[in-house]
Structure formats: structure tokens, C-alpha cells
Structure 1
Amino acid sequence: MRKQLIVLTILAATASFGAHAQTSTTSPMPAPKADADKNAPLPGANSFTEGQAKSRLEANGYTNIGELKKDDNGVWKGSATHGGAKLTVSVDYRGNITRN
């Protein structure tokens, strides 16, 4: 009986860990504001694809997102609409969104 309890405990822990390890959440909000983020967009090696940068903008209420281009500093730049205004937007490697 004790051996079965140990096996069931291990199976439950493994199943729980496996489900947790496969769960991925990406917050639509910009990265937490660190002191450096106040200078966004930050230059750096950007691992976002154009589609991921666009999705991040959409999740933050931007629409009519035009083609995004990655500049020499690794920042995705393009145009989008937010609150009815057409803007120039940027998404840096930390996920910070800036607009003009």
C-alpha cells in the first residue's frame, strides 16, 4: 500500500510539473519598468519576429499596424493607429512600446 502511495505521489508531481512546464504566458503589457526602460526604445539584439512584435502591439490596443522593419539598433519600427491617432511605433528587445 505504501509503495502504491509513493508511486501515485510521484506520478501526480510529474504530471503537475509537465503541465506547468508547458504553459507559456506572454504579457501583452510592456516589460516591467526598470530605470533603463525610461530611455526606450533600447538598442539590443531583438529576438522578436515581426509577427511577435505586431502581436505585442495588437495586445496593447494598436490597430492598422503597417509593415514593421528592424533598424540597425534591433528596434522594430512602423506605423499603427491607437486611440484614433496614426502614430510611429517602436518595439525594442525588452518589449517596450514607444510611439510618436
Structure 2
Amino acid sequence: MNKKILLLLTATSLLTAPSFAQNPPATDRPNNGAVNSSGQNNSNEPVSGANSFTEGQAKSKIEQAGYSNVTSLKKDDNGVWRAKASKGGTSTAVSLDFQGNVNAAK
């Protein structure tokens, strides 16, 4: 076979062959701990990590968990939002982690 044709066929097959080195897309599974969208905590303690919630979003998430009068909202060095809030007439310290878990201080 002519060297030019062989080279052309080899180059063409390399360009059109599927790439097996690609990673498959991420799956949406219940045990994916990166985001808690179920409305239920997946941890009884705040989980440290890079938190992308804005202050307004953090306040809303805490309120959605049944708390009111959210004050003193600050993000700590572990990426956990911490605040004072009321629930059932009792004021308590609460936390919101990057996974969306809202926990009362114990």
C-alpha cells in the first residue's frame, strides 16, 4: 500500500475514533453529599467546606427550616454560616453548612 494512503488512513482513524479517556457524566444519586436538596439534613453536625450560599440565601435556608428572627448571621472559617434564631418561642444558635444542612447548636 502506498505510504501516503496508509498515513492518511491512520490519521483519519485517529481523528474519528471515540475517546475512551473521557469521564462519564456525574450521576444524580441520593448519596451525593455535595448538595442537600431533599429538605432534610444528611448530617446532624455542620459539615466543613467551601460554602457558596450568599448571606441572603443562608438566611432564607434557615427560615425554610422553620426558624424566624435570624440575627448575627456570619460565615466562620470552616465555611459554615452561624446565626441566632428562634423556633417554637425559643432562641438558639443555628448553623447552615455548604450541603444545606440546618442544625441547632447542641
TM-score using structure 2 length: 0.60
Q: Pick from 5, 14, 29 the counterpart of residue 39 of structure 2.
A: 29
Kindly indicate whether the alpha-carbon contact (under 8 Å) linking 2:46 and 2:101 is maintained by their aligned counterparts in 1: yes
Aligned length: 70
TM-score by length of 1: 0.63
Consecutive unaligned residues of structure 1, counting only runs of 5 or more, are 1-25
Give ranges in structure 2 of 5+ residues lacking alignment: 1-35
Aligned match of 2:98 in 93, 97, 100? 93
Give the structure with the larger helix fraction.
1
Alignment identity in percent? Answer: 50
Highest CA radius of gyration, 1 or 2? 2
Give the Cα–Cα distance (whole angstroms) in 2 for the partners of residues 28 and 84 of structure 1: 26
Structure number with the higher strand fraction is: 2
Structure 1 counterpart of 2:69, one-letter code? N
Superposed counterparts of 1:1-100, under 5 Å: 29-31=39-41, 33=42, 37-38=43-44, 40-100=45-105
Q: CA RMSD in A?
A: 1.9
Following TM superposition, where does structure 1 have runs of at least 4 consecutive aligned residues deviating by more than 6 angstroms?
none
